[in-house]
Chains A and B, each alone.
Chain A
Amino acid sequence: MDEAAIIKQAQRGNVAAYNRLVIHYQEIVYNVAYRIMSEPQAAEDAAQEAFISAYQALRRFRGGSFKSWLLRIVTNACYDELRRRKRRPQSSLDDLTDDNESFAFLRSPNEGPEAYQERRELVRALEHCLEALPEDQRVTAVLCDVEGFSYQEIAEITRVSLGTVKSRMSRARAKLQDCLQGFRELLPAAYRLGNETRP
């Protein structure tokens, strides 16, 4: 896919060309939104809003990494929604959804029910600990550890300095480490052994 050419076509108003970009990036955009918002429906809304905003702002895109630019828009959309929720707290319908349904995507045909259950518990524990982080640290941890972005890319996406990314990452991991102590039995064997052998 010649991304630069498609972006130029989209900038000229070709919605079909833009939709090719949407299909290419929608999974990562949705996942980043989901890890920040911790709710499928809120993540869906944030992703849709981000794609609409990105299209409307497409002529302002001045080159560079389109993925970073798109993720900046979606993280901003998530920040806005989180701030709005702080001002007007509300209960989410996602809290009422069936847990089995929410984790149905984890199911693998080759996996036994016990292994599936363990994996689901681990995912829940990790999501719980991520959710407990302050927003800026959560975004940094999601982009770095979940999505695998470099510090430089995270600095571009979140528009902060490299030093701030390092600092946020260090604090986020320290908090995650503390939080995961409570779910030690769910973690990979090496992690458990490492902690047990410590004095």
Chain B
Amino acid sequence: MFDYLRDLRKSAKQQQQEALHAYLDDALAPKARRRFEQALARDAALRARLEEARQVQYALRQLPRRPAPRNFTLDPAAYGRPQAAPLVQAYPALRVATAFTAFLFVIVLAANLFLSGGLGAGQTAVLSDAPQAPAAVAVMETEAEPIAEIAVLTEETPVEAPEEEIAQTEALAVEAAPEEAPTAAEAPALEAAAELVVTETDASAADAAAPTTRGVEPEATPAFYPAPLPEPSLFNWIHSGPLVLGILLALLAALTLAARRQS
């Protein structure tokens, strides 16, 4: 294939010159040979050039063969068993593996570039949402019981609270929630804090506690929640694939070159 591409760059004169020598050495394909013979029949100058080339070839073939000046045989005492070469035995397999990995590398790299261009924003959203979802669940779990208790208190003491007290309660609740919500193991502590809030305010404050806990809910996304690892997916693999394949390709190429050098 490379020969074909290289031939495209050659001038007609160069191509004819090469065909002339290949014809002389009987190395032309049948079709090219017929074409060259037709050109030869038409062109007297081409015939003359062919004759000159034939004479050069003839002269070179007259070069005498020199006798070997001595025997090049090896001394059996000095040379033992020929060395084994495991790498060379694996050369064909290594070559195929390198070619396949290179192909895969190109495909994955192209897919990676395509997907990161087309779906980059979506991927970012998914990745940023991933740690938040479980955190929100944890907050809901830890706060479920205090809310229930507060609701009970509200039913028992339907007294109105002053607005400053409501605000104060809200602030306490907001501060307490993110501090004590981190893990399910700390849920009892959060429960106690919520009870404390309720007991510190008077009965009418319970009315305000409900909106407080509702208000905490969207904000309760602490950054220090241990983010679970994202599920391995095709998308993630494609994202890290070029790096892995690149390393593998470099390794295989080095081994193949070493095997080739040995052979």
Chain A residues within 8 Å of B, Cβ to Cβ: 10-13, 15-16, 18-19, 22-23, 26-27, 29-31, 34-35, 40, 44, 47-48, 51-52, 55-60, 62, 105-106, 122-123, 126-127, 130, 141, 144-146, 148, 150-152, 161-164, 166-167, 169-170, 173-174, 176-177, 180, 187-188, 190-191, 194-195, 198
Contacts and interface: CB of A to CB of B under 8 A. Distances in A.
How many B residues are at the interface, by size bracket?
35 or more
B74 A170 contact: no
Contacts of A188: 55, 58-59, 62
Given A173-B56, A191-B52, A57 B83 contact: yes
Contact of B85 (A55, A57, A169): A57
Given A187-B55, A194-B48, A170 B85 contact: no
B249 to A, nearest CB: 23
The 8 closest A-B pairs by CB, nearest first: A163-B3, A13-B81, A191-B55, A145-B60, A15-B76, A19-B73, A58-B82, A151-B27
Given A60-B262, A126-B62, 17 more contacts: A19-B73, A26-B68, A40-B66, A47-B72, A59-B83, A60-B88, A60-B263, A105-B66, A144-B25, A145-B56, A148-B61, A164-B3, A169-B21, A176-B56, A177-B52, A191-B56, A194-B52
A141 B22 CA distance: 13
B63 interface: yes
Contact of A11 (B48, B82, B262): B82
A174 B59 contact: no
B80 interface: yes
A146 B58 contact: no
Contacts of B7: 163
B123 interface: no
A193 to B, nearest CB: 10
A137 to B, nearest CB: 12
Contacts of A151: 22, 25, 27
A151 B48 CA distance: 23
B84 interface: yes
Nearest to A152: B27
